[in-house]
A and B are shown apart, each in its own frame.
Chain A
Amino acid sequence: MTRSHFSRRGVLKTGAIAGAGLMLPTYLRAQESGFTNAPTGDTVTFGFNVPQTGPYAEEGLDELRAQELAVQHINGEGDGGMLSTFSSKVLDGTGLLGKKVTFVSGDTQTKADVARATAQSMIQKDGCIMITGGSSSSEAIAVQGLCQEAGVIFMAGLTHSNDTTGKDRKRNGFRHFFNAYQSAVALTPVLEKVYGTDRRAYHLTADYTWGWTQQESMAASTEAVGWETVQNVLTPVGAGDFSSYIAPVLNSGADILVLNHYGGDMVNSLTQAVQFGLKGKQVNGKDFQIVVPLYSELMAKGAGSNIEGVYGSMNWNWQLQDAATLAFVKSFGEKYGFPPSNAAHTCYVQTMLYADAVTRAGSFNPCAVVEALEDFEFDGMGNGATLYRASDHQCFKDVLVMQGIASASGNANMVGYDTLSIVETTPRAQVEYADDHPMFAGGTLGECAVGA
């Protein structure tokens, strides 16, 4: 079988030549500009990395709409949206540092692995200078780590886990969205006022980083006002059927059900809890109640009338009446025909904040951008006065406590948008915490990375 026509000398020679050929590029390497994907032409590329399929796809698609809108406004197309209300006035609608902004989008399929792959392709192939996105916290944390390694900026979209700016915080990553701890702190005083201090809570929790931190935060803040946590049950993400988890709640002696679920999971678990008759039940002489710590318009839409009376929290809502919100809702509504969700809002704002930071820094260099964003105080983005804290890259701003209500307009297309009403705006001072708070401890930002 074996026939050889190659002499040892021949193989060595060929090997040496091939080796030399492979080494050559080292000497031909062009001097790059000092950081990853420094824009060279007359355009600069953003990467919008969101789930377009999978359980969080609805949120992802809405994020993408807002990001496209933000790019238009930065390039001076459309009505400019929040540019007119933003407290920093350096963006003039002529692109970024004289370059037109373009973008590429990728489908993360709501999977961390795929999100890393699409982000890598954005960085290595499309030359993106900034990545934004994430609808699931595990996705956002995975991509944030990648951006840190690669030396590009990550502007987190929808990610609510404490870990994103807690134990997984990164110097190159920034989060505008609020977090699980802030939700719990804002929500608890309202719950205390409405439901009293003598309550027994049963938690159903999505089994991943966000669910864990959300449950931990809710348990800690409600226990502080006297509630008792009866039990915490972890449920797999995307379980679909939660009846086997909800049935035990009936006999547990609990009188509050806290659903630490999001997206399609929350729609299913809430609907099933209502079908099991939890809402009308009397336990311990009190009305049984359900709480959903994190609300979104798209979830409310899916859950329909089941959310009536249920409390939750939000980062922002289109029904706010400040000038910035009005401008954004008008601009989004004119383009797409319905109001923006709070996921859309945070992505729009993040894109704008990045553009503003680049302009103020006068450079696309990630370290300059990091410096411009750290401890940046701004207003006019729909959340009131806001601070990007330098020590953990978390934004601090007011938090909204929401309650589900019957649709005011009766318009089927507005379900989810007008079935949530703002109960209270929790001021920023109340949701602030130390950057070494136990729920956020264990992380270090590290140094800003420029890659290359």
Chain B
Amino acid sequence: MLGLTRKDFTLFAIVVVLALLAPVLLNPFPVNSALGQTFNAGYPALMQRFAIFGILVVGFNILFGLTGYLSFGHAAFLGVGSYAAVWMFKLLSFNIVPAIILSVVVAGLFSVVIGFVSLRRSGIYFSILTLAFAQMSYALAYSVLTPLTNGETGLQVYPSDPQYLAAAGAPSGPHFFGLPMAQATTLRLGDWAFTFQVGYYLCAIMLIAAFYLSIRIFRSPFGMMLRAIKSNQTRMNYTGLNAKPYMLRAFIISGMYAGLAGGLLAAMDPLTGAERMFWTASGEIVVMAILGGVGTLIGPVLGSGVIKYLENIVSKINESVLHNALAFLPDGIENFFVTVIHPFVGEGWHLTLGLLFMVIVIFLPGGLVEGGQRLAGLFGRRSTATTAADRDAARQSPAE
């Protein structure tokens, strides 16, 4: 179906269903309940981030997962894409189509340059080169190119901007041919409320398309070539194949994915700043990929989801929320639990993330996907376990 094997199609269908039903699935608790106020994640701004960072990491995975080349500067492409999109808003109109197209194109061109230079080296040197380029881009955006990027203040759209193509009466925010991104309908079912927003669905459709493309790349001869690079580049060279063009193509595709993500970020919220290109942002992408499962199809989507959830939901659990949640316990015990849990939530969410990351890297090197496979192997039929193991083996030695 759609050029996919049955197994891949199932995976694709799962992603489609998750993406389309996210507003319902992420709001499992009634709106006004304590649980709902703390753990519901189905509000548009966060769901957009789930989808956008999903796209970003899916693209990153095409490079890192297939070729094994660890780019430590991927946030630069995201930032460049965002700047391109905001400039389109400033110059043309709030229509997102030219903005997103230009952001992908600019990020693509940018990755040709960076890829061409960085791919002269492999391994750690490649990582350091990409990191250096990203930090240079950050510094340029932050201070040198201030007229273009508005420095630390960030680039945004002002009413005084020309917007040469803006039609009279067009929405005063990003829109898709007149359909505003911010438009939303809320469905109330008893105590539950689900918000369906145009902007989120645009991101979701983009995620689905990006995911589909990534499956096709993974299963294509091109994907096989990339895996061959990962498994033994020297052997490839001896057989007379030049690996460079393949890697450069993978790098550019992955950069364009990041550009798309950057353009979408700007389309959801027409403002951007240099901090999107900071090296911690690049590091976050790597962590997302590893957390979810490098080289797997669905891993990147899971990894980015978990991190964005921790960042936005767990970081907001403060002391009073904890006290409310544990109010049923006797006072002394309640205070004890609050003291124990408090360092790991709220501002301490990084600590939780760090621990989670350590656990995953030590016990589940294949990321959350491997965790899922092991669970399936534990509880499912024996055959599931063998297929999971087979797939694992196949993933680790694709060219042998």
**Is the Cβ of B271 less than 8 Å from the Cβ of A208?**
no
B323 in the interface (beta carbon within 8 A): no
B230 in the interface (beta carbon within 8 A): no
- The answer for the CA separation of A117 and B281 in the assembled complex, in Å, is 15
B234 in the interface (beta carbon within 8 A): no
Residues of chain A within 8 A (CB-CB) of B273 are 111-113, 138, 142
Residues of chain A within 8 A (CB-CB) of B142 are 207, 236
Q: How many A-B residue pairs have CB under 8 A?
A: 120
Q: Which of B145-179 contact A (CB under 8 A)?
A: 146, 151-154, 156, 158-160, 173
**Is the Cβ of A3 less than 8 Å from the Cβ of B5?**
yes
B interface residues, Cβ below 8 angstroms from A? 1-6, 20, 32, 37, 40, 43-46, 49, 142-143, 146, 151-154, 156, 158-160, 173, 182, 185-188, 194-196, 219, 269, 271-273, 275-276, 312, 315-316, 318, 346-347
Known A-B contacts A25-B196, A121-B45, A207-B143; the reply to A442 vs B276 at CB < 8 A is no
Residues of chain A within 8 A (CB-CB) of B3 are 1-2
Q: Which residue of B lies closest to A136 (CB)?
A: B152
**Is the Cβ of A141 less than 8 Å from the Cβ of B196?**
no
Give min CB distance, B18 to chain A, whole Å.
14
- The answer for the CA separation of A247 and B43 in the assembled complex, in Å, is 51
**Is the Cβ of A112 less than 8 Å from the Cβ of B151?**
no
Residues of chain A within 8 A (CB-CB) of B271 are 112-113, 116, 142, 145
Residues of chain B within 8 A (CB-CB) of A163 are 153
A271 in the interface (beta carbon within 8 A): no
Q: Name which of A30, A112, A163, A234 has the most chain B CB atoms within 10 A of its CB.
A: A112
Residues of chain B within 8 A (CB-CB) of A87 are none
Interchain CB contact (< 8 A) of B49 among A18, A117, A209: A117
**Is the Cβ of B159 less than 8 Å from the Cβ of A446?**
yes
**Is the Cβ of B146 less than 8 Å from the Cβ of A138?**
no
Known A-B contacts A3-B1, A207-B142; the reply to A149 vs B182 at CB < 8 A is yes
A interface residues, Cβ below 8 angstroms from B? 1-6, 18, 22, 24-26, 28-30, 32, 41, 52-53, 104-107, 111-113, 116-118, 120-121, 124-126, 137-138, 141-142, 145-146, 149, 163, 167-168, 207-209, 234, 236-237, 442, 444, 446
**Is the Cβ of B45 less than 8 Å from the Cβ of A117?**
yes
Give min CB distance, B278 to chain A, whole Å.
9
- The answer for the CA separation of A137 and B316 in the assembled complex, in Å, is 23
Give min CB distance, B134 to chain A, whole Å.
16
**Is the Cβ of B45 less than 8 Å from the Cβ of A22?**
no
Interchain CB contact (< 8 A) of A106 among B196, B276, B316: B316
- The answer for the CA separation of A25 and B201 in the assembled complex, in Å, is 14
Known A-B contacts A2-B4, A113-B276, A125-B46; the reply to A107 vs B143 at CB < 8 A is no
**Is the Cβ of A124 less than 8 Å from the Cβ of B5?**
no
Residues of chain B within 8 A (CB-CB) of A236 are 142-143, 152
Interchain CB contact (< 8 A) of A25 among B185, B316, B346: B185
**Is the Cβ of A141 less than 8 Å from the Cβ of B45?**
no
- The answer for the CA separation of A141 and B152 in the assembled complex, in Å, is 12
**Is the Cβ of A207 less than 8 Å from the Cβ of B4?**
no
- The answer for the CA separation of A3 and B40 in the assembled complex, in Å, is 39
Give min CB distance, A169 to chain B, whole Å.
11
**Is the Cβ of A146 less than 8 Å from the Cβ of B347?**
no
Residues of chain B within 8 A (CB-CB) of A138 are 152-154, 273
Interchain CB contact (< 8 A) of A121 among B158, B160, B275, B312: B312
Other 11 A-B pairs with CB < 8 A, given A116-B269, A142-B273, A207-B142: A2-B4, A4-B2, A25-B185, A105-B318, A120-B44, A120-B46, A167-B158, A207-B143, A208-B153, A236-B142, A236-B143
**Is the Cβ of A6 less than 8 Å from the Cβ of B347?**
no
**Is the Cβ of A208 less than 8 Å from the Cβ of B152?**
yes
Q: Name which of A3, A26, A442 has the most chain B CB atoms within 10 A of its CB.
A: A3
Q: Which residue of B lies closest to A444 (CB)?
A: B159
- The answer for the CA separation of A442 and B272 in the assembled complex, in Å, is 21
